[in-house]
Amino acid sequence: MRLLFLGDIVGRPGRNAVIERLPGLRDRWQLDCVVINGENSAGGFGITEAICDEILAAGADAITLGNHSWDQRETLVFIERQPRLLRPVNYPPGTPGRGANLIDTRSGARVLVVNVMGRLYMDPLDDPFAAVDRELETCPLGQVADAIIVDVHAEATSEKEAMGYYLDGRASLVVGTHTHVPTADHRVLPGGTAYMSDAGMCGDYDSVLGMQKEEAIRRFLQKTPGTRLEPGLGEGTISGIAVETDDRTGLARRVAAVRLGPNLEENWPRFWD
């Protein structure tokens, strides 16, 4: 199978880049499944139903969230009727929505997508390791799911790496989100799980984490209240990770970083060209 995961969409530049380029990438690379983190897609804060529908229509099979899941209050309602929009699985019982779902892809494959949030320097949610364990135990790789993608929305790279090794051999891909900066550690772990500490963002990289530079810099210099942070206005870059799995086991065979757009050195899975 061919999997593509894209990092946090930040505002209109990120949305435009994904919506314009994803249909062509699906055809060019013959992708079986595309998962995108969309928690910053609505002006940098949360996601709306209209934006969710737009991203899915562009070719995403599932959208994951994170600590900004509820910044748009309407998400508390529409997430209940949209099974392909996932919030972190370790939110307390009774939280609207779901944190994992077995997605039937366009190619006929079944992909378990799990969204989990870390606890280091983040909200003190339930144990992320135990939460992911429960999902994988009920939907094991190679038996129920043809592939398993785990989005670890976390601040600390140590927590993300620990999750990667903890799930090594049980998931196709463990990928970090949240920090908006793509890391250079994409690889296949010893047990066959593809891993990357952070997929980066889909947004304007001539910015501070996707937001306009001026207000972000002023906050560091003055430490006083100011205007609302707004997404950058430049052209967006899409950033993420591409994975090819073994159809027999669901484990990763090859992996490549994806960076398409200005400001970063471009990269893509040349083994698919």
Give how many domains the chain has, as a whole number: 1
13-50 tens-digit pLDDT = 999 999 999 999 999 999 999 999 999 999 999 999 99
Residue 95 has pLDDT above 90, yes or no: yes
Q: What is the pLDDT of residue 254?
A: 98
196-216 tens-digit pLDDT = 999 999 999 999 999 999 999
Q: How far is CA 13 from CA 10, 43, 123, 189, in A?
A: 7, 10, 28, 33
Is residue 203 one of the residues assigned to a domain?
A: yes
Is residue 273 one of the residues assigned to a domain?
A: no
Residue 160 has pLDDT above 90, yes or no: yes
| Domain housing 226 | 2-268
CA distance 270 to 273: 5
Task: Report the relative pairing of strands 33-37 and 62-64 from DSSP bridges.
Answer: parallel
Comparing CA positions, the residue from 186, 145, 154 lying closest to residue 67 is: 154
Is residue 142 one of the residues assigned to a domain?
A: yes
Q: What is the pLDDT of residue 273?
A: 87
Comparing CA positions, the residue from 178, 145, 182 lying closest to residue 32 is: 145
Q: What is the pLDDT of residue 58?
A: 97
Task: Give the domain CATH number at 264.
Answer: 3.60.21.10
Q: What is the pLDDT of residue 60?
A: 98
Q: What is the pLDDT of residue 48?
A: 98
Residue 71 has pLDDT above 90, yes or no: yes
The answer to whether 54 and 28 are in contact (CB under 8 A) is: no
The answer to whether 211 and 229 are in contact (CB under 8 A) is: yes
Strands (DSSP E) contained in 38-117 are 62-64, 85-86, 100-104, 110-117
CA distance 198 to 200: 5
SS3 of residue 220 by DSSP: helix
Please state the φ and ψ torsions of residue 138, each to the nearest 5 degrees.
Answer: -85, -15
Q: What is the set of active-site residues?
A: 68
